[in-house]
């Protein structure tokens, strides 16, 4: 082969291990989750092998080349239209019969195909014995055994792929349909063979036109500039229905399933239909009709308690380090705007956010373990009854679960939903799930106003409220804006896996890097902006002459040493009053007072209002903004004392703190999430609607929480 570059497309069913093998081949750090729908766009990576540059493309999972959901369309369009040099079909050995349906469709494309028989260890544990050589003969293509999460067989797979691609040998596989269907395929193929410019195998095109594939119909019309083949296909479909009273596309699918079943029965031996795997036995408990939901809630409650209690130790160490850095700079720099910017703006803002990194890591450790083990798919199954009651189904719960991490991939994950109404509703309610960016706000307020014993339960209640509100809003949207019949719940239950340390730590590493990048960019920029807004203008008209009052006290201290301590406290009080007046008259203070009437019914003051407004950029910014504001308004420049400063603020109370957490949970998504909503819906209208309805919902629910708390005596 003369070219030094090959394009490899990794195709396969959802959860077959494509992304794991992609990571092993390219070394890329793509997120891997043990449930369908992780890869929602094609991803690319490079690998150099034997003097050739391999462009490896990881496609979204698809069960068929007849696409329904958006992620399937991405996969099918790349395979059919961009025509990679070679296809690598990842087969899940533990679900081989279902995986072979896509395999035979890929073979019909007459492109070079290599099969990676993945998860062979899982298949063996289930008592399945696969005859590789016989399967190779049936499919007419090379098969390589792999265990993706252990990187077994990857080198052999790469070598095989390059060898097969260099030979450029067309596949010899032909799937024979029923005689009546074959007759119509031959008629259509004869016409298509006389059509110039078609870049696809004629027999494959004929089958796709008989299946009424809209995408292929557009391709043929665009290339041939006539509709003769389209018209003939419609005529042949009508003839078949008249003769058999059956749709030809269903008949074609039945023929494929029959062929796949015959291949599977010839090549695979099993222990029998009544053999229960370890996954089956675990599912008897975890997906139990009565116990499933309490177990799920118990697992999530345990996760949040571990995050708060275990994470408190490394968080304290980080806070001490940041505090010492602030004191070092404070003692080594003269008083100036630059010193204030560094201590109050950068350290007070960014430092307060960075200190929550251990909690973020622990949260994602828990989520990664649940994902990679396979439990998340069970959680969707358990939630199916609740989701179905609001007009959705359990598969919609997967993006909601992803929302615990970040709303951006969660919104993109809705592409796995075939029903456009389900997809739109899920997009609109996903931001109500409590993403990791909100966690610093919760932990700050919980630590300041709630006991250590109650901390985990308070945190759990906020996450649970997000789930409840998402379900309520989904019900309202499904009954009003997106009414229609709900889809049945169909979803793969993958076998349980023991998560690998590499996969789990890769997940944690990715999220921590993203978190720190955000701290070093968006949060840093907003912190500097907030510092400017809280420190300017300089020409503030104070209510009294603070400098003169402080000079008088200092003079008294010099003559009456026995009164030094109480007078120092008076000096500190004057400093705090002066800083408070300056803050109230700053640009931020003026804006805060302007919006205060809107948030006062919720128990919030203008300082909280400024924090919430800044949080539109990123939810962590609420913490950095409060850190900057309270550092500016305190007598001590101690960036790690934000918790104490909040507890000392008379405007705050446990009820106000909880109400503020509720508002942060529900109000408008961050800029990144809003941008993704615009891209996924392709609509400014729905993007704006998402911002407006969520903020209105936050105000209403927060109002109810605050006033209910007041009535109960809190």
| Residues of each annotated binding site for Mg(2+) | 23-24, 26-27
Using the 8-state DSSP alphabet, how is residue 52 labeled? E
Rg (C-alpha) for the chain, rounded Å, is 31
Neighbours of 653 (CB within 10 A): 15
Q: Judge whether 193 and 229 are in contact, CB under 8 Å.
A: no
> What DSSP letter does each residue of 664-682 carry, written as one string?
HHHS---HHHHHHHHHHHT
Q: CA 606 to CA 585: how far, in whole Å?
A: 12
With a CB cutoff of 8 Å and minimum separation 6, the contacts of 253 are none
Question: H or E stretch including 389?
Answer: helix 384-389
Q: What is the dihedral of CA 10, 15, 16, 18, to 10 degrees?
A: 30
Task: Indicate the annotated binding residues.
Answer: 12-19, 23-24, 26-27, 37-41, 58-61, 118-121
Q: Judge whether 52 and 6 are in contact, CB under 8 Å.
A: yes
Strand pairing class (43-49; 268-269): unpaired
Q: How far is CA 432 from CA 424, 443, 664, in A?
A: 14, 18, 10
Neighbours of 418 (CB within 10 A): 15
Which class for 236: exposed (0-12), middle (13-18), buried (19 or more C-beta within 10 A)? buried
Q: Judge whether 158 and 54 are in contact, CB under 8 Å.
A: yes
Laid out side by side, the sheet with 113-118 consists of 43-49, 52-58, 5-12, 86-92, 113-118, 143-145
Q: CA 207 to CA 323: how far, in whole Å?
A: 69
Task: Indicate the annotated binding residues for GTP.
Answer: 12-19, 37-41, 58-61, 118-121
Contacts of residues 550-558 at CB distance under 8 Å and 24 or more positions apart, as own/partner, are 550/574, 550/575
Q: How far is CA 348 from CA 120, 344, 537, 586, 664, in A?
A: 53, 5, 20, 18, 20
Tokens at 372, concatenated: 């990679």
């Amino acid at each position: 082969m003369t070219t030094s570059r090959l394009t490899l497309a990794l195709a396969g069913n959802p959860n077959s291990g494509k992304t794991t093998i992609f990571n092993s081949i390219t070394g890329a750090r793509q997120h891997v989750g043990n449930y369908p729908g992780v890869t929602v766009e094609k991803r690319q990576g490079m690998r150099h092998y034997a003097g050739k540059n391999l462009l490896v493309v990881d496609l979204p999972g698809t069960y068929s080349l007849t696409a329904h959901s958006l992620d399937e369309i991405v996969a099918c369009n790349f395979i059919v239209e961009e025509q990679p040099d070679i296809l690598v079909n990842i087969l899940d050995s533990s679900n081989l019969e279902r995986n072979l349906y896509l395999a035979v469709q890929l073979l019909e494309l007459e492109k070079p195909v290599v099969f990676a028989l993945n998860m062979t260890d899982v298949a063996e544990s289930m008592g399945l014995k696969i005859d590789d050589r016989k399967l190779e003969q049936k499919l007419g293509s090379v098969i390589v055994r792999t265990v993706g999460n252990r990187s077994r067989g990857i080198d052999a797979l790469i070598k095989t792929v390059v060898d097969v691609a260099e030979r450029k040998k067309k596949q010899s596989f032909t799937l024979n349909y029923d005689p009546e269907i074959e007759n119509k395929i031959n008629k259509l193929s004869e016409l298509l063979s006389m059509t110039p410019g078609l870049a696809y195998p004629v027999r494959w095109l004929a089958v796709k036109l008989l299946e009424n594939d809209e995408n292929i119909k557009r391709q043929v019309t665009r290339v041939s500039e006539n509709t003769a083949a389209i018209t003939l296909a419609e005529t042949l479909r009508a003839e078949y229905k008249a003769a058999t009273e059956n749709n030809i596309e269903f008949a074609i699918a039945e023929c494929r399933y029959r062929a796949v079943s015959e291949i599977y029965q010839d090549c695979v031996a099993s222990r029998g239909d009544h053999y229960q795997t370890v996954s089956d036995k675990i599912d008897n408990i975890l997906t139990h009709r009565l116990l499933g939901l309490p177990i799920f809630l118990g697992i999530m409650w345990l996760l949040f308690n571990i995050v708060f209690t275990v994470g408190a130790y490394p968080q304290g160490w980080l806070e001490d380090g940041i505090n010492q850095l602030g004191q070092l700079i404070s003692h080594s720099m003269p008083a100036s705007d630059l010193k204030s910017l560094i201590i109050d703006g950068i350290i007070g803002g960014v430092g307060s956010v960075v200190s929550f990194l251990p909690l973020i890591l622990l949260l994602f450790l828990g989520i990664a373990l649940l994902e990679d083990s396979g439990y998340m798919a069970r959680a969707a199954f358990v939630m199916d009854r609740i989701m179905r009651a609001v007009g959705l189904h359990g598969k919609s719960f997967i993006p909601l679960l992803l929302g615990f991490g970040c709303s951006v991939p969660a919104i993109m994950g809705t592409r796995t939903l075939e029903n456009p109404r389900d997809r739109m509703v899920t997009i609109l309610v996903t931001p109500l799930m409590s993403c990791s960016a909100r966690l610093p706000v919760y932990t700050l307020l919980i630590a300041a106003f709630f006991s250590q014993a109650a901390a985990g339960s308070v945190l759990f209640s906020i996450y649970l409220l997000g789930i409840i509100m998402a379900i309520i809003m989904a019900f309202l949207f499904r009954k009003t804006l997106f009414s229609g019949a709900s889809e049945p719940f169909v979803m793969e239950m993958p076998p349980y896996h023991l998560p690998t340390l590499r996969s789990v730590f890769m997940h944690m590493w990715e999220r921590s890097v993203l978190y720190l990048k955000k701290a070093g960019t968006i949060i840093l920029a907003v912190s500097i902006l907030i510092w400017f807004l809280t420190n300017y203008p300089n020409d503030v008209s104070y209510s009294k002459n603070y400098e003169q009052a402080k000079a008088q006290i200092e003079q008294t201290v010099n003559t009456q040493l026995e009164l030094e301590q109480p007078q120092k406290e008076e000096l500190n009080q004057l400093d705090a009053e002066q800083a408070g007046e300056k803050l109230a008259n700053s640009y931020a203070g003026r804006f805060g007072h302007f919006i205060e009437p809107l948030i006062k019914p919720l128990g919030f003051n203008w300082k909280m209002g400024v924090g919430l407004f800044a949080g539109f950029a990123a939810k962590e910014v609420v913490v950095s903004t409060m850190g900057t504001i309270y550092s500016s308004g305190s007598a001590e420049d101690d960036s790690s004392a934000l918790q104490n400063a909040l507890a000392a603020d008379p405007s705050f109370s446990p009820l106000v703190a909880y109400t503020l957490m509720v508002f942060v949970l529900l109000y408008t998504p961050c800029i990144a999430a809003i941008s993704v909503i615009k891209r996924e819906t392709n609509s400014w209208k729905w993007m704006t609607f998402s911002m407006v309805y969520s903020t209105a919902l936050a105000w209403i629910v927060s109002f109810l929480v605050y006033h209910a708390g007041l009535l109960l005596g809190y």
